[in-house]
Structure 1
Amino acid sequence: MSNSRLEKPVILTGDRTTGPLHLGHYAGSLQSRVALQATHRQFLLLADLQALTDNAHDPDKVRRNVLEVAFDYLAVGIDPALTTICVQSALPALAELTMLYMNFVTVARLERNPTIKTEIQLRGFERDVPVGFLCYPVSQAADITAFKATVVPVGEDQAPLIEQTNEIVRRVNRQIGHDLLPEAVAMIPKVGRLPGIDGKAKMSKSLGNAIPLSASADDIRAAVRQMYTDPNHLRAADPGCVEGNVVFTYLDAFCEDVGAVADLKARYRQGGLGDMVVKRQLEDVLQALLAPIRERRARYAADPGYVLEVLRQGTAKARARTEETLGEVRAGLGLFSLDAGQSAAAE
């Protein structure tokens, strides 16, 4: 690997392997990852351990979706020659770093994290929240710092997790006595949080309001027709509201013709433009976006052996990097080391 490659800023990002990815992932970070992989050293994590934090009752679901998410990565344009794709559970250094970092954060701080609070409410955990789920920010801090990443492309709702990572970094560095671990910056796209087609929450597989990247043409058409618009826009002649209108939110996110979208908004606000006209425009945009992704995904799904080899090679590279960081953190914290020839005898 060339020195210029090593000097590039490091990105760490990834997804929980709970199901195929959807348009929310695409708007939230996949577009950024594809664009940045040529200018940054990028590591992409298939977060199967974090997926278990609320799916421990169904580990088979988590296991089979490792490849499903990998298919999506390759289909949207992630290039294994530029981006290292790796499997979280095959990187033991991440688990040890998580355990070490748990000593640098309190339960109260974890419970105050806005992202975790929201997700706990959505899942109805209340006080029955699994410890692994509550400690999700610590695990993510381990992921980011193990690769010494300084840039993390995330959706707007994930920004508090990066803030908490940096808090842990500062505490660990203070304990070690120097800045071993770098802080990271959250890179938030123009559409930081894409709502579901029902307009009630963010797009989510578990809430059933998502459009998968692998959606068929019929599925896309059906989803667009179900989309929440303006409940007071009962007739085409009525003035309509653009703000909070899911169809226009999606047009802003995915339509490259900004002028055309601005014209539609003006006409909708004035009255005389029906919902179906706007929805047909959005459908055309989404069909054009997803058709090539769907086709590429089908090709990768037909050759799982190739995808597995991509994951094996990427995970081997990631293992070397994360083990190096773990060794530095252990040494910095002054932990016992057999390799250093320290005596195990009590003083």
Structure 2
Amino acid sequence: MFVDRVLSGMRPTGNLHLGHYHGVLKNWLALQQKYECLFFVADWHALTTHYDSPEIIGQNSWDMVIDWLAAGVDPARATLFIQSKVPAHAELYLLLSMITPLGWLERVPTYKDQQEKLAGKDLSTYGFLGYPLLQSADILIYRANLVPVGEDQAPHLEFTREISRRFNHIFGKEPDFENKVAQAIKKMGSRKGKLYSELRNRYQEQGDESALIAARSLLEEQQNLSTDDHERLSGHLEGKSKIILPEPQTLLTQASRMPGLDGQKMSKSYGNTIGLREDADSITRKVRTMPTDPARIRRSDPGNPEKCPVWQFHQLYSSAETRNWVQQGCTSAGIGCLECKQPVIQAILDEQAPILERARMYEKDPAQVRKIIADGCEKANWLAEETMRDVRAALGLGYL
């Protein structure tokens, strides 16, 4: 039986900034409380665009893991691992490539977008073209059914669903499937087996979505069915054969767009970031020198918060009371820009304090960080191998 399992990863770009914290890590902290979570360092993905500078990947990976732990990702609740330490990712990526139409890869929107944004790099490589398929392998190998994604990544998840459907259609044809389905239904008992069949017929003959939901719920309640029987009946329910690689679903999470110091999205490429572990003096200096409403040339000039990048920080960090104070003080010239920035500076430093405290603990004990990752890699390898046994068997490679 498949469990609710979340998978998410980050490319090792080195020390993270507040954009990563508010856009991704805070969601991870909430998800680890509700689901089985796997969070991984996507070091192979880093090579798809930075193949010419591999020397930075190692240190960047460890720095990023410390940032995760400092932010509050809990290795007792989530599995943390490094992609390249689970070789089965590459194996599944290769096997999936055998059935992936070239046109599917070329139509992924980010393929051309990234080539244009990174025009200075030669990205006419198989690795870059195939990175959406590697992402699919990352998800499918853990049978992760929930994937938190932003709008820009939604096409990648739909691509993964298409790959899953294609794989199951081609390779999910199990010998004597109908007979095994009948035996599995018998195990449910006469009453529940009859109900399952009725719900299946309603869904397949009338397209009744409520019947599909009810049938899935019924299957989840069956404790006497093996994992294989659950897969067979789930596939039979929707007119498929055995589901080897289940389709992942989009996990809608609260999106928080962290502005940069210049009002654009916070990004290293724009040079407008505040590091997650940046020192207090540097943060203070950066915020104090942020651009403000260009109409406020003098202290006595009234301004408009909507035209000021600092206002975006207030919306994220300040209370309603503070925001009202800013609105009134700015539009009436009752406060100056430095006064306006001070609550933002203090809020960032307050948020950062427990993060820095945890970071110092892990910085002083790198062996502990490596043990966390080693343990996570061990579990990830075990989960991946479970899937790969089924995949190899489906492809006729389980004969050794």
Q: TM-score, normalised by structure 1?
A: 0.84
CA contact (8 A) 1:29 1:154 kept: no
In structure 2, what is the equivalent of residue 34 of structure 1? 29
* CA distance in 2 between partners of 1:296 and 1:127 (Å): 40
Two-structure CA RMSD over aligned residues (Å): 2.7
Alignment partner, residue 187 of structure 1: 252
The question of whether the paired residues in 2 share the 8 Å contact of 1:28 and 1:154 is answered with: no
Map of 1:253 onto structure 2? 316
Decide whether aligned partners of structure 1 residues 184 and 215 sit closer, same or farther in structure 2, where only a CA change above 3 A counts.
Answer: same
Cα pair 2:7 2:144 within 8 Å, conserved:
yes
SS of the equivalent of 1:148 reads coil
Match of residue 72 from structure 2: 77
Conserved 8 A contact 2:66-2:363: yes
Paired amino acid for 1:148: R
Q: Percent identity?
A: 36
Q: Note if 1:322 corresponds to 2:379.
A: no
Q: Encode CA deviations 1:36-91: one digit per residue, 9 max, x unaligned.
A: 21211010101111111122222221011221111111111111111110110011
The letter of the residue matching 2:360 is: A
* TM-score where L is the length of structure 2: 0.74
Report the CA distance shift for 1:203/1:136 in structure 2 as closer, same or farther (over 3 A): farther
**Residues 242 and 268, structure 1, Cα contact 8 Å, conserved in 2:** no
Question: Among 306, 313, 319, which residue is 1:242 paired with?
Answer: 306
Which residue number in structure 1 is paired with residue 163 of structure 2? 168
* Structure 1 residue 220 corresponds to structure 2 residue 283: yes
User: Residue type matched to 1:320 in 2?
Assistant: W
CA contact (8 A) 2:149 2:250 kept: no
Distance 1:272 1:154, change over 3 A: farther
Unaligned runs of 5+ in 2: 173-240
How much does 1:102 deviate?
Answer: 2.9
Counterpart of 2:8, as a letter, is T
2:133 to 131, 138, 152: 138
Deviation at 1:126, TM superposition (A): 7.3
- Determine which structure has more spread, i.e. the larger CA radius of gyration: 2
Q: Distance in 1 between matches of 2:292 and 2:361?
A: 36
Shift of 1:13: 0.8
Matching residue of 1:209: 272
Q: 1:168 aligns to what SS in structure 2? A: helix
Q: What is the identity, as a one-letter code, of the residue corresponding to 1:338?
A: Y
- The secondary structure found in structure 1 opposite 2:266 is coil
Query: Cα gap change, 1:7/1:170 in structure 2, threshold over 3 Å: closer, same or farther?
Result: closer
Structure 1: 5+ residue stretches without partners = 1-5, 340-347
Please show how residues 228-307 of structure 1 align to structure 2 within 5 Å.
228-235=291-298, 237-242=301-306, 245-255=308-318, 257-261=319-323, 264-265=326-327, 268=330, 272-307=334-369
Which secondary structure state, in structure 2, belongs to the residue aligned with residue 242 of structure 1?
Answer: helix
In structure 2, the partner of 1:62 is 57
Figure out how many residues of one structure are paired with residues of the other and give that number. Answer: 329
Deviation at 1:156, TM superposition (A): 4.0
| C-alpha separation in 1, matches of 2:14 and 2:252 | 24
Q: CA deviation at 1:206?
A: 4.2
Relative distance call for 1:166 and 1:210 in structure 2 (3 A) is farther
CA change 1:97–1:265 in 2 (3 A) is farther
Contact 1:54 1:130 (8 Å CA) reproduced? no
Secondary structure at the counterpart of residue 70 of structure 1: helix
Q: Provide the rounded CA distance (Å) in 1 between the counterparts of 2:94 and 2:331.
A: 54
